[in-house]
Structure 1
Amino acid sequence: MKNPNPFLKKIISRKNTAKILNDMSARLNIRILITDAGDNIIADIGRDGEFGNSSNSMVIYPINAGGDEQIGFVKGNEGCSLVASIIDCVAEIESDKRDLTSELLSKYREINLFYDFAENINIRKDFNDMAMLTSTQISELLNADSILIILKNENTGLLEVVFKFGADAAKYAPLKPEDAIIPERVILSGRAEIVNDLSTDVELARILPRRTGSVLCAPLRIQNRVTGAIYLIKENPIAYTSENLKLLMVFSSQVAAFIENGKLLQNLQETFISTVYTLAETIEMRDNYTGDHTRRVMDYSLAIGGNLGISGEELETLKLSSILHDIGKIGISDSVLLKPGKLTDEEFEIIKSHTLLGEKILKNIKQLNHIIPGVKYHHERYDGKGYPEGLGGGDIDLMAKIIAVADTFDAMTTDRPYRKGLSYDAAFSELKKCSGTQFDPAIVDAFIEAFPDIKEK
């Protein structure tokens, strides 16, 4: 007999779940037998209760975890149907939490990798060192077998592999005509491409109809000119996504900058901002109605900061804080985050936790510790009635007070499934009405004064 299903056993063993099951067994005078899919007994509750008046009256109810896969069964009389429904619900919630934790860890890993890349590429003076660092990071993130950095020879017009990475990469250098088809297309169009099944690529299939595998290819763009491409190859087909392609494009833009001037010192901050913005957009893509929210909040925040005389490193801190102000929403379930109607009190508490989740994520990245106050406190109120700590007035971080105005203004003027966005004038009236209670009056005044310049951009 195999060991009991650990996931189901964990759910049933929890104090609250066990209490509910024992109470139901006692109140209904029924015996509740819970087994996993392999018929291992997880719990046998109410042994003195009854299954029914005969063996034929035992009913078996499946337990699912938010999908079609059965992870176990509840056995008993008809009264056990409610028990099975409760366990189903708990299992689905636990499964969602596990998925969200996995997504959170994945995004955290991406942030760390990107920051390491942005920090380390600055000290690379040699092209091969830079290319090795880039290829190692791409391979780790995107599971590539071979990575090629390809440049177009300005004299001959031919494509040349200037760097190759991976055990099988040598077979692609020099490029054969069939291997050059996709990079040539990307360089000519200037548009990145995903091909998840090479046998479906019409142009390539004419030459190699049985070619299999998947590729990502992003252009190397220098001063509005495409001079080459980064070509990622997976020998066996894999389901790459547009998010994967966007990540590759972040790398390709930095490789292009290095090739152009060999100096990335002045571009380091821009590299990191671009990376962080990409990750923020990934979170934002979960909600179709918040398109460009991150960019607008950043623009509004920087305009306010500029009007208040903020500059230099402090302005960069404001920029990063505004881009990542909602990073904690990685850990919020879609069923709550994307709910079209009014949230329940419990759901609102879950939403509110994104500020603390954001703090938790950023605490583990030493280089981003300085932006935690702006991320954590952007839902505090000037009158002390906000969250997560109920800070007020001058106790609230300046970056957070700026982001609060920018974030609220964008929320008010953006269409949602359940309401039309306010006009700018109506939103300004709301900001003024809440000035001194929800918002710092100086921040509201600075935003209203700076807004005409934002519209002109």
Structure 2
Amino acid sequence: MSLELCEMSLKQTQDLLRLTDQTLQDICCKRFTSEELYVEVLGKVLGGKGRRGPSSIFLVFQEHDGSLCRGRVFHMKEGALVERSEEITFDPLSSYAVNLVHAQEQENVVVNWADRYESIEAFQDYFHPGVKGFVVSPITNFITCRISGETPGAIIAFNYPGRATNYDADVLRSMAVVIGSLLTLSDEVSATEKAFIYTIETLARACEAAEEDTGRHILRVNRYAGALAANMGLPIDFVETISYSAQMHDVGKIKVPTSILLKEGSLNDQEMEQIKMHPIYGEQILGDSPRLRIAREIAIAHHENWDGSGYPYQLKGENIPLAGRIAKLADVYDALRSKRSYKEPLSHEAALAIFRNGDSRVNPQAHFDPVLLETFFKIEHIFAKIYESFDQKLS
């Protein structure tokens, strides 16, 4: 039996190591949330479908100011899907929290009810009501391991088949190390991501500094683009990326003279040719970084038209990058709603009329991806709310 348990614990530890290795390989291109990480890791350890492991796991962390402990219970649903409880909170001075702290001080604790208690019923008093409510069946054993790192926490695994053992504790300790390490890494990646987004937002503001309403315009275009992408059912990574990359659509205008950008009235042919160069300038400015691929596609393609009549390359239909098609519609809507040196702002209803019927500058059927246009009309009320919220927030 001991050899069998050892082999099981070795396999589970190997699974955790493979997960860690894959996460490290993907770290430059994947932004994962704590919940995604938990589900990945827990799926390697929880019991089900013939595997040895606990039936439930409680992950709990202490607030940075020490004022509260928060956690969730996870278990397998139908032997495959990791299911979580609602958030469970409790005072760090409560008896349950004191027991956790005591357990953490010992690295790990293995407890079977028969070793310490007269009955299973008496054993239940050890556990928080929220935990017992989600575990449902009486708790017969548990193992506790501490999670080290900037956010201290603990893993409590309940109801191993038969007795909980030191082999099980070894696997749980491996999981605690994996979670602690990857959470720290995730926090660092998140901080780097925030710095990256702040940097490109600064660049976008600098490029449009000469024009009116710059700050509100780029924030709104980001939100419109994100709403369109989300409501088209596109992957979450794409939605998140376009939600901060759409603001780069006019980055190339930094190389266009201010006198042209702010000119009142119509542009002459020569001035219009200079304006039409800004997508190419934008592509050049953004360079060939993989992290800026979506932003680059937006910069070069947001003035292309569905029928091939746009610029700079007269791309047609699905040859136009999807990100560029989305940013185009978002930019046109906001341009219609916004005051410019050559025009007054339009109401949402007036902008909708142009998206339906067109005007001297906009031909909806010729200029926009028809699927995008259909999605826009389904969520046009969201566009109106985005415009109004940012207009009020930053006015």
Output the TM-score relative to the length of structure 2.
0.47
Work out which structure has the larger RCO, using CA pairs closer than 8 Å and 6 or more positions apart in sequence.
Answer: 2
